[in-house]
Every structure is written in C-alpha cells, then in structure tokens.
Amino acid sequence: MSAISIGLLGFGTVGKGVYETISKHQGRLQAIFGREVKVSAILVKNVSKHSLPDGEVLLTDNFQEIIELPKLDVVIDAIVGREPGYTYLRQAISRGCHVITANKEMFAFHGRELARLAKHNNVSLGFEATVGGGIPIIQTIKQLLNANKIERIEGILNGTSNFILTSMREENLTFEEALKIAQEKGYAEADPKNDIEGYDAFYKAVVLSELVFGKSPSQETSVREGITGITIEQIRVAASLGLKFKHVASIQKEQETISCTVKPVLTGEAHPLYRVEGVQNAVSIDADIVGNISLQGPGAGMFPTASAIVEDLIHIGKADFPAVFEEGKSEETVLEQPVWVILGDADQAELPEGFETISKVSKDAFIVKASFEAVSLLAPDLKAYQVLGYYAPAAEENKQVQPV
C-alpha cells in the first residue's frame, strides 16, 4: 500500500518539530493509517540554510514542485504571515489534499474561506495548532458544542506576555528587564510587538470566535491592548491586594454582537487564570450545560505545537481510514512498557522472558521494563512495584531513571 504523502510548508521551529514527530512516532501513525506516513517534500524560503537527514525528501523553495507531486495527500502549513500560506492552502484544497495549519495570523483572516473551500472539496481542515500550542482547545470546543452553548471564553493565549508579567512580579523586574530575559530564553522574537501588543492573542481570539460563534468579533466593540504600560509599581500594589496582572483575551456574545478584548486585567485567587504562570497558556470556557471548564498547558514550542498538528493528522486518519480501527489493531505494538522496581536478590534473580533491565540500583534492587503479564510470572521471592510518573531512557543511553 502506498504511503500517506505529506507536503510540509516551513522547516523552522514548528516544521522541524512536525518532521521529527512523524519520524519518531511512525509506528503509532502506521497503526492508525494502516500504511507508512511520510513527509515527501518540504518548502522553505532559503534552501541553502537547511540540510535533511533523509535524502529522498524534496527540499524546495518552489511550492509548485510540491503541489505538482504525483502523490500528495496532506499539506501542513508551518510558515509565517497571511501570504503566501493562504494561496498555497487554497491550491492544496483545490487539488483534493487535506490541510492542517499552525499559521494563526493567516487563519484568523482567511479561516472561514478555507473552511468553506475544504467543505466544498470534501477534505479536512485542521487548525488545532493555531490556538494554545499543545493544548487541545479546538477539539475540546468542537466536542462541547455538540451539546452545549458556549457563552464566554477567557484565556491567556500568549505565553511570552504571561512570562513577562510573571517575571516582573516574581523577580521584581521592570518590563524591559523581563522582556530581555524572554528574548534571551527564546520566548520572545527580536521584534516582540506581536506578543506584547496583543496581536498574537487577538488572532487566536478571532479563531475561537469563528469556531464558537460562527463569526469574527465586531471591530466596534473589540479592544486590543498590550502589556507595555504595566509597571513594577502597579504590580506591587496589585500584589498587596492579593491580585495578579494577567494578559487576558475574552470573547463573548451579547445579543448578536461578538466582543473580543485582549488587555491586561487583574485576577483574584478564585479566578481560573490566577495560577497560570510563566509561558503556560490556559483557556477557561463557560458553557450552559457543563459549566466552567479550564484547560492549561504549553501554548507554544516545537513539540507542543507539533503534537497539535499530529493530532489533526490523526483525526484525518480516523475519518479517512476507519477500517484500520478494527478492534485490537491499534496501539499495542507501540505502547511503552511499564517501568518497575524489582526488589530481591538482583544477582541471583532469574527473570522470565520479556524483561528489559534498565539498571541495577543495588544488590537488592533493579529497574526493568516489562508487561503486567511478565511481572505476574516473577518468582515469589521477587517483589515488583510499578513506577508511575517516570520514563526510562534506553538502557544503553543512560543507566538512571529520570523524572519526567
């Protein structure tokens, strides 16, 4: 069976994360799609900057070479700006490809038209990565909307501005000092305007508004205000009152008007966003049946964003290749084995088949990976305790078990 062929637009932070994730989790994807999932071509601006481990992948600065590939099933957009991403995705949809995008600016402006085109051409359109990085906000909202009416969404949608506000308060820094640290840590761009002036959060709020209310916020009632005016003195006063500044995007419907505000607000201890610190993002959703739901997690970064894109890819797989979801045909071969500490005489112990020793901790204890079934067959003088919340590096790489 021929491979699922992917055209990847962009090979920066997000593009590289997607490429690596698809390579690394090939077994999981193959279990879902029933065939190999392969990045066939990558689009970049400057080819000479890049080198690829797989010589079979086409690396090009010419989108036509990608769209004219003899086989192309999915196009993933991880480039920047409204254009040329919009034009490329239109072409991909018209060719009958499924499309996935992380490009929030493009999607905030053209999402509705792309959704219309995708429906018309009977292909999927994934945009989980446009809001909240690795947090599954889009799928959660889609799921909620099956039964609920969503009344309001509030969120910390930009990790850079949240990091700056957190650092100012916790480290007693000025805005400029905190911004400099955010830039040194790679959280803020050299030109940080998009983050600190609230444009990035506003694009995400537009995507949420389109999803929840079917239209963009009204320009007359919407507000976008950055965090550049917040001073350390203001933060101190707020703290003395038990309050914290947060840069919050809020989207709500009043009668037929959708309003969106992105601005610094003060939150008290009882508010769901009060404890969201550093580069974390969070969304708090008020819905009529379920009440309030809050989601929190990494709002950006290579692998959180790649996770959202691969989630979209898997949704496409589930919709388009349902036959492979027969019972028992999914994950078993790719699930990590549980990690155990075995207590007993390590020198004398004879382990049945199926045990992978990770390390010998002392003469009475060693760490293994093994299935539940294998552990149940251990000799009675050996006691096995499963280790939760740890991962075990491959035995040859590292002899220690490390916390996640």
Ligand X SMILES: NC(=O)c1ccc[n+]([C@@H]2O[C@H](COP(=O)([O-])OP(=O)(O)OC[C@H]3O[C@@H](n4cnc5c(N)ncnc54)[C@H](OP(=O)(O)O)[C@@H]3O)[C@@H](O)[C@H]2O)c1
For residues 101 and 284, which CB has a smaller minimum distance to ligand X in the complex? 101
84 contacts ligand X (rule: CB under 6 A): yes
Cα 92 off chain centre by: 23
CB of 31 closer than 8 Å to CB of 333? yes
Residue nearest to ligand X (CB): 12
DSSP state of 343: E
Nearest distance in Å: CB 255, ligand X: 33
Per-residue mark of binding to ligand X, 103-142 (x: CB under 6 A)? xx------------------------x---x---------
Q: In the set 4, 5, 6, 15, which binds ligand X (CB under 6 A)?
A: 15
Q: In the set 3, 80, 293, 324, which binds ligand X (CB under 6 A)?
A: 80
Residues carrying an active site annotation: 204
DSSP state of 148: P
- Choices 38-46, 92-100, 135-143, 364-372; region in contact with ligand X by CB under 6 A: 38-46
Element (H, E) at 261: strand 257-267
**How far apart, in whole angstroms, are the C-alpha atoms of residue 379 and residue 383?**
8
**How far apart, in whole angstroms, are the C-alpha atoms of residue 129 and residue 378?**
45
- Which residues, 291 to 350, sit near ligand X by CB under 6 A? 300-301, 305
For residues 13 and 337, which CB has a smaller minimum distance to ligand X in the complex? 13
Q: In the set 12, 34, 297, 344, which binds ligand X (CB under 6 A)?
A: 12
Within a 10 A sphere around the Cβ of 67, how many other Cβ atoms?
18
Q: In the set 49, 122, 219, 233, which binds ligand X (CB under 6 A)?
A: 49
222 contacts ligand X (rule: CB under 6 A): no
Render the burial of 3-38: b for 16+ CB within 10 Å, e for the rest: ebbbbbbbbebbbbbbbebbeebeebbbbbbbeebb
**H-type helices in 74-198, by residue range?**
85-95, 104-120, 137-144, 159-171, 175-184, 193-196
Nearest distance in Å: CB 328, ligand X: 35
Q: Return the closest-CA partner of residue 281 out of 130, 179, 172.
A: 130
For residues 190 and 270, which CB has a smaller minimum distance to ligand X in the complex? 190
Q: In the set 4, 6, 8, 14, which binds ligand X (CB under 6 A)?
A: 14
Tokens of 247: 């840069």
Nearest distance in Å: CB 81, ligand X: 7
Binding residues for ligand X (CB under 6 A): 10-15, 43-46, 49, 78-80, 84, 102-104, 129, 133, 300-301, 305
